[in-house]
Amino acid sequence: MLASFKTTVLSLLRNKSMLLWALLFPIVLTCIFMGMFSGIESAYSAVGSDLGIVRSASYGSNEGLQQTLRSISLSTGKNGIVKLSYFDSEAAARKAIADEKIDSYLTVSNAGSISLHVGQRSLGANGSLPTTILASALNSHLHATNAVAVIMARVTPGGSVPASLASGDGVSIKRLVLTKNAPDPDVRYYFSLLAMTAGIGSAAAMLSIQRLQPTEGAVGARQSVSSTPRWLMLVGALLGSWLCQFACMLAALLFMALVARVNFGTGAAPLLLAIAASSLTGCAAGALLGTIPHMEDGMVSGITCLLSLFTGLYGPASQLITDSLEATAPTLIHANPLWQMTNCFYSLLYYDLYGPFLSSIAALLAMTGIFLAIAAFRMRRISHGQL
């Protein structure tokens, strides 16, 4: 077994195609994903806007509006969306818009109504996103003000105003978090890529098992008649290919985490376990494929690409197919080893408990046992057939 292990490791390290597909392929594809997703976050983020405020007696008496504008001002921190500028007259604010110094300006009439005047620069350069967010904030302020006014109108003249309304602190806002980390649609591609890497790496195990077959030449024939049991040769070749595949997947994961800044959750030990189980299942599948006559690398790549379709690797269309199958035919989608590999990383990122993660690990180990049992049976039949 040790001789088979050593031979497998040395042969795979000298195989350039193994280094190309198992190591360089996920790194290159990660760089492509980085380029694809680099502008998405900034495109959908809140773009800052320059807002002018016309000072008037009505504006000065509206303390709630002033507090709302100060809370969304860029000077208050990273959550701000507007930069405030003040003008003594509406004519001065219009001139500032014409000179493209501000995007919009706000006025308060004598009756207390609030008007937001949007300039052409806001609609042209940054789109309507800044002013849309600003309008939503102002609408929220108006709704809250009207709600307080309705409640105040219901208070009897002799009654007292509730302390919560008088202080303005009666509303307690809590953030509801459904997952351990904030959802990120980009990580789905990286997790699916890791699963695809494990699938492509199964070709290394397939080649290692094919070298043990008596039909592969004089070396394979001598091994088939040796005193070493076939299952020991299988285990040695499997461990050798698993070690190489584990190292390649670990390098790809480190590149994603350190260079692409992909969030894999917390805990290095579960991540290592996920990589170990994924690479082991991929190698076990490769060992089974290695016992099938006339199996080639291109066929393994084709099978891997087909299974990757049901992990969401190819974009929204494949993700929709995957989600639909998971909802309508969960048994079918859970039988996909690459889906179980992807779900391992998902579970570590989004679940507080390790139950879903351990379920995927158990499924991968069960598939590994099935693949190895069939591979050992087929290797024995092939050896007896040649004898």
- For 14-60, what is each residue's pLDDT tens digit? 877 777 788 899 999 999 999 888 766 555 554 567 888 899 888 88
Is 13 inside any structural domain? yes
Q: Answer yes or no: are the C-beta atoms of 268 and 221 closer than 8 Å.
A: no
Q: Which domain, by its residues, includes 315? A: 2-39+184-386
- Residue entry with tokens 């190819």: 314
**Single-letter amino acid, residue 266:** T
* Same domain membership, residue 312 and residue 346: yes
Buried b (16+ CB within 10 A) or exposed e, 219-248: ebbebbeeeeebbebbbbbbbbbbbbbbeb
Answer whether residue 5 shows pLDDT above 50.
Answer: yes
* Same domain membership, residue 71 and residue 205: no
Is 294 inside any structural domain? yes
| Total domains in the fold of the chain | 2
Q: State phi, psi for 245 to the nearest 5 degrees.
A: -70, -40
- Confidence at 190, pLDDT banded by 50, 70, 90: very high
- Confidence at 228, pLDDT banded by 50, 70, 90: low
* Same domain membership, residue 348 and residue 298: yes
* Same domain membership, residue 222 and residue 363: yes
* Same domain membership, residue 346 and residue 263: yes
* Same domain membership, residue 52 and residue 35: no
* Same domain membership, residue 330 and residue 277: yes
Structure-model confidence comparison of residues 56 and 163, the more confident one: 56
* Same domain membership, residue 360 and residue 257: yes
CB atoms within 10 A of CB 132: 14
Which of 79, 106, 126 is at the close of a domain? 126
Is 249 inside any structural domain? yes
* Same domain membership, residue 57 and residue 33: no
Helices 337-350, 268-290: inter-axial angle, 10-degree rounding: 180
Q: In whole angstroms, give the CA distance from residue 317 to residue 377.
A: 39
- Confidence at 279, pLDDT banded by 50, 70, 90: very high
In the prediction, which pLDDT does 371 show?
95
Note the pTM of the prediction, 2 decimals.
0.69
Average pLDDT for 94-117: 85
Q: Answer yes or no: are the C-beta atoms of 224 and 386 closer than 8 Å.
A: yes
* Same domain membership, residue 193 and residue 122: no
* Same domain membership, residue 6 and residue 99: no
Is 141 inside any structural domain? no
Is 147 inside any structural domain? no
In the prediction, which pLDDT does 168 show?
44
Q: Answer yes or no: are the C-beta atoms of 131 and 116 closer than 8 Å.
A: yes
Is 153 inside any structural domain? no
Could you give the percent of the chain with pLDDT greater than 70?
A: 78
Q: What 3-state DSSP class applies to 335?
A: coil
Is 12 inside any structural domain? yes
Answer whether residue 147 shows pLDDT above 70.
Answer: yes
Is 171 inside any structural domain? no
Q: In whole angstroms, give the CA distance from residue 96 to residue 120.
A: 12
Answer whether residue 232 shows pLDDT above 80.
Answer: no
Which of 88, 106, 126 is at the close of a domain? 126
291-297 — which CB contacts under 8 Å span 24+ positions? 291/209, 291/213, 291/374, 291/375, 291/378, 291/379, 291/382, 292/378, 293/215, 295/206, 295/210, 297/17, 297/203, 297/206, 297/207
In the prediction, which pLDDT does 7 show?
77
Which of 100, 126, 152 is at the close of a domain? 126
* Same domain membership, residue 335 and residue 235: yes
Q: In whole angstroms, give the CA distance from residue 328 to residue 336.
A: 15
